[in-house]
Structure 1
Amino acid sequence: MITVSACLIVKNEEEVLARCLDCVQRVADEIIIVDTGSTDRTKEIASRYTDLIYDFKWVDDFSAARNFSFSKASMEYLYVADADEIIEEEQIHNFLRLKETLFPEIEIVQMYYCNQLEFNTTYNFDKEYRPKLYKRVREFRFYDPLHEAVRLEPVIYDSEIEIVHKPLSNHAPRDFTTYQKIIARGENLSDKLRSMYARELFIAGEDSDFIDAYSYFYETVLHTTLGLTELKQCQCVLARGARLQQKDQDFFKVCLKNVACSVTSSEICFELGEYYLQNGDELEAILWYYNAAFETEAELNLHYQGDYPLNKLALCYQALGNDEEALKYVNLRDEWKAEER
Structure 2
Amino acid sequence: MVTISVCMIVKDEEANLSRCLNSLKGIADEFIIVDTGSTDKTKEIAESFGAKVYDFEWTGDFSEARNFAFSKASCDYIYSADADEELDEENRGRFLKLKEDLLKLDIDIVQMYYCNQLAFRTVYNYDRELRPKLFKRLRRFVWEDPIHEQVAIDPVICNSEIEIIHRPAENHAGRDLESFRKAISEGRYLSKRLHNMYARELMMAGTKEDFIKARSFFEDSLKDNNRSIDEIKEACCVLAHIAVIADDTKTLLKCSLKDANTEMSSEMCYELGEYYYGQKDYDEAIIWFFNAAYECESILDLRKSKELPRLALAKCYRALGNDEQAADYEREAAEVEKEE
Pick the TM interval, shorter chain.
Answer: over 0.9
Measured in 1, the distance between the counterparts of 2:3 and 2:226 equals: 45
Measured in 1, the distance between the counterparts of 2:304 and 2:152 equals: 42
2:303 maps to 303
- Give 1:58's aligned amino acid: W
Cα displacement (A) at 1:189: 2.0
1:211 maps to 212
Measured in 1, the distance between the counterparts of 2:72 and 2:80 equals: 13
2:11 maps to 11
1:130 maps to 131
2:180 maps to 179
1:192 maps to 193
Equivalent residues in 2 for 1:220-299, closer than 5 Å? 220-261=221-262, 263-299=263-299
Equivalent residues in 2 for 1:133-172, closer than 5 Å? 133-172=134-173
Cα displacement (A) at 1:222: 1.5
* Higher mean C-alpha deviation, range 222-231 or range 269-278: 222-231
In structure 1, runs of 5+ residues without a counterpart are none
Measured in 2, the distance between the counterparts of 1:153 and 1:95 equals: 24
Cα displacement (A) at 1:146: 4.4
Q: TM-score if structure 1 supplies the norm length?
A: 0.95
Measured in 2, the distance between the counterparts of 1:115 and 1:252 equals: 37
Cα displacement (A) at 1:144: 3.8
| CA deviation vs aligned residue, 1:99-147 (integer Å, no higher than 9, x gap) | 0112432111111111212332110012211111011112223334444
2:96 maps to 96
- Give 2:253's aligned amino acid: F
Measured in 2, the distance between the counterparts of 1:322 and 1:166 equals: 40
Is contact 1:239–1:251 with CA below 8 Å preserved after alignment? yes
* Higher mean C-alpha deviation, range 179-188 or range 33-42: 179-188
Measured in 2, the distance between the counterparts of 1:256 and 1:193 equals: 24
Corresponding residue SS for 1:300: coil
Is contact 2:307–2:337 with CA below 8 Å preserved after alignment? yes
Q: TM-score if structure 2 supplies the norm length?
A: 0.95
1:329 maps to 329
* Higher mean C-alpha deviation, range 18-27 or range 66-75: 18-27
Corresponding residue SS for 1:6: strand
In structure 2, runs of 5+ residues without a counterpart are none
- Give 2:11's aligned amino acid: K
Equivalent residues in 2 for 1:12-161, closer than 5 Å? 12-102=12-102, 103-161=104-162
Aligned pair count reads: 339
Corresponding residue SS for 1:83: coil
| CA deviation vs aligned residue, 1:190-238 (integer Å, no higher than 9, x gap) | 2211211111111111222111211111112223421111111111111
| CA deviation vs aligned residue, 1:230-283 (integer Å, no higher than 9, x gap) | 11111111111122122221111111111121x111100000000000110000
* Higher mean C-alpha deviation, range 101-110 or range 280-289: 101-110
CA RMSD of superposed structures (Å): 1.6
Cα displacement (A) at 1:329: 2.0
Measured in 1, the distance between the counterparts of 2:91 and 2:239 equals: 42
Measured in 2, the distance between the counterparts of 1:151 and 1:275 equals: 55
Is contact 2:108–2:156 with CA below 8 Å preserved after alignment? yes
Is contact 1:75–1:136 with CA below 8 Å preserved after alignment? yes
- Give 1:2's aligned amino acid: V
Measured in 1, the distance between the counterparts of 2:323 and 2:145 equals: 69
Corresponding residue SS for 2:129: strand
| CA deviation vs aligned residue, 1:301-334 (integer Å, no higher than 9, x gap) | 1111111111111221222122343233223222
Is contact 1:211–1:244 with CA below 8 Å preserved after alignment? no
Measured in 2, the distance between the counterparts of 1:323 and 1:57 equals: 56
2:313 maps to 313
Give aligned-pair identity as a percent.
51
Corresponding residue SS for 2:120: coil
Corresponding residue SS for 1:330: helix
- Give 2:38's aligned amino acid: S
* Higher mean C-alpha deviation, range 141-150 or range 230-239: 141-150
- Give 1:197's aligned amino acid: Y
Is contact 1:32–1:50 with CA below 8 Å preserved after alignment? no
Measured in 1, the distance between the counterparts of 2:231 and 2:156 equals: 29
Measured in 2, the distance between the counterparts of 1:224 and 1:22 equals: 50
Cα displacement (A) at 1:172: 0.6
Corresponding residue SS for 1:31: strand
